[in-house]
Amino acid sequence: MQISNEPVIKRLFIVFILIIISLSVYYYQNGATDSLNSYYKDPETQNLTYYQENSLEYIMDHHEEYKQLGYQNEDINEMIFILRFEELKDVLKRQLRSDILVPYLAYSNFKYAHMLHYEQVRKTNGVSRLEAINRYHHPNMTDDFYNAIQDAINPQTELVLVNKNYSLTKDYLPGKLVSINDLPLVIPSKDKDRNKVLDVTYQALKEMFKDSKKEGLNLFVSSGYRSFNRQDVVYNYYLVEGGRSYADSFSARPGHSEHQTGYAVDVTCGNVLYRLVEKFEDTQEGKWIKKHAHLYGFIIRYPKNREASTGYNYEPWHLRYVGTDAAKKIVDENLLLEEYLLKYTELPN
């Protein structure tokens, strides 16, 4: 007669958890520092400890029920530290199978309270669990412009998101800007902010210009960094010229311009008289940029036929530094920056 190993496995699991708790208590009583003592005396921490103890007791009492839903010991152990006591009970109440819940636990921006909504988004759109989480919490990344404004995502990083729904504050500064005066400039001047970018942008731009020059091409920088106040002036120029709708199709409102991040740059060439015009795409320089910019970490931020999702007219001259890894995926999969962030990164809720 074959004897089931289930009771033994259960006892071993419980012993393992108790050993962890015992070691934690021993460390606290014998080797904790003053800061750790303060941590454990904090009411919030005591409350968390209380819930974890309740969670452990509940798991022990209902271990077999979790196993029947497909949860392995390692899954249960992870759930104890991620889910609240009420959420652990809800798993059994709803009879949530492990194949539904466990994959979500890998993401730091996962919130159990929204899991059924995530699943609805995932199944409706045929996307990954990560993208479902991101889409649920950021439903208006590429539409409903200027009506659901939030703070910029990933500030001070090369994946910062600034668009018509994500903005920078008036006093936002990107960090130390460096001069690009050793590159061909449309308006040379050491004092102009437009001829400055972040160093990582400059280094990539310098390499790209050097390699394009080897091909007999002559690229020029028209504009780099642009402050909030300067963007206000630029936007109001278009506003006076053609009204709100016209201005919004050509220019970002102050606080919504990528130029304020230090990662954006406008490039042009002599064949279009150094202007920022769509005809730039037909020049040898424009064609080279389209084919090679991603190799240096740049993307054409507002591509053709994506106006409805970017809110801007096609701008073959507007380059945005995102790093070579992100740029390659964006180009290979024909994505917008917003789509890349939704698909591949853990966005804040």
How many other C-beta atoms lie within 10 A of the C-beta of residue 141? Answer: 24
Name the catalytic one among 258, 281, 315, 338: 315
Radius of gyration of the chain (CA): 27
Pairing of strands 219-223, 196-198: unpaired
How many other C-beta atoms lie within 10 A of the C-beta of residue 63? Answer: 18
Cα–Cα distance, 114 to 218 (Å, whole number): 52
Sequence-ordered strand ranges (E) for 153-245: 166-167, 177-179, 196-198, 219-223
Helices (H), 272-323: 284-292, 307-310
Q: Which two tokens stand for residue 164?
A: 């018509």
How many other C-beta atoms lie within 10 A of the C-beta of residue 38? Answer: 11
Residue 187's alpha-carbon distances to 183, 194, 218, 230, 305, in angstroms, are 11, 9, 15, 16, 31
Cα–Cα distance, 337 to 145 (Å, whole number): 16
Cα–Cα distance, 267 to 289 (Å, whole number): 9
Sequence-ordered strand ranges (E) for the chain: 150-151, 166-167, 177-179, 196-198, 219-223, 264-269, 298-302, 315-321
Cα–Cα distance, 193 to 291 (Å, whole number): 29
Helices (H), 243-316: 244-250, 284-292, 307-310
315 is annotated as an active-site residue:
yes
Q: Which 3 state secondary structure label does DSSP give 338?
A: helix
Catalytic positions are 315
